[in-house]
Amino acid sequence: MYQTTLKTPISCTGIGLHSGEKAVMTMKPTEAGSGIAFERTDLSNGARHFPARFDMVSDTFLCTTLRNASGATLATVEHVMAALAGCGIDNVMIEVNGPELPIMDGSSEAFVFLIECAGIEVLEAPRRCVRVLREVSVRDGDRVAQLSPSGDRSFRCEIVYDNPQIATQSASLDLDREAFKSDIARARTFGLMEEVDGLRANGLALGGSLDNAVVVSGEKVLNEGGLRYENEFARHKVLDAIGDLALAGAPILGAFDGYCSGHALNNKLLLALFEDDDAWCWEVAAEQSELLAATA
């Protein structure tokens, strides 16, 4: 329950899923209490900073996009945020040289690998968490996302697609580092073949390929090697939810349940949670605070 950061900076290079542009990303250690933030190194100092917060989200169509006070945007932050949450990283600066983070293979696996290569440093500061005190729910038609009080950090997602390969499936996770790495991190983003031309005509998925997304055509998965998990589609929705809720600014102690939810509902859920002062509270592990006070 102590705060963490990375032991050393580490970088990777890839392409943006939607922009198709080459992206170089570097994760750097930061001090306790600094939180998670992004910087676009291609912009001037006044426009480059993006706090990783739910109230900075400006667009949720097919990915989660942040917009800062200068009007600059940074897209597709959810997979990196999921990796940081899954690995228990509290403080890091993430630099990228363009408008979108690299998609890598469409999952969080590469980012978990980077974090493990950099190493995790435990800091002498207690971790602050957001405890859910009562159920909060948001809805869009039949789509629902909710948070409920729980002693664990748990996630459950159910999806329903009018496609025989995806159909109806669900996935769940009690979040800890090893479970995230083995059960969720490798689940890739996905799409339907019949939607690809329309997306590209609208300037989206320009960097998409079978190397960074699962593509389904009718009953067939087009990717060589098929799926990584039988319910990989639902597991990726759990991955997205973990990443989107990591924009709370601190780990959430509660149970997330999503039915056909996505980035938009996930963000609306955080907005609804923090608008209700009776639905949440800050919590710091007492034993850490007392130990630090005694040794100060």
Amino acid sitting at position 253: L
Q: Is a pLDDT exceeding 80 seen at residue 47?
A: yes
Which residues are designated catalytic? 263
Percent of the chain with pLDDT over 90: 93
Taking alpha carbons only, the member of 146, 218, 149, 228 closest to residue 189 is: 228
Domains of the chain: 2-127 (3.30.230.20), 129-283 (3.30.1700.10)
- Average pLDDT for residues 116-134, to the nearest whole number? 98
| pLDDT at residue number 292 | 45
Q: Residue 286 — pLDDT band, cuts 50, 70, 90? A: low
Alpha-helical segments (H) within 148-285 = 177-183, 193-201, 232-245, 263-275
pTM score, whole prediction: 0.95
pLDDT at 89 over 60: yes
Q: What is the dihedral of CA 218, 224, 228, 233, to 10 degrees?
A: -30
- Give tens-digit pLDDT for 181-216: 999 999 999 999 999 999 999 988 999 999 999 999
Percent helix, strand and coil across the chain, each to the nearest 5: 25, 35, 40
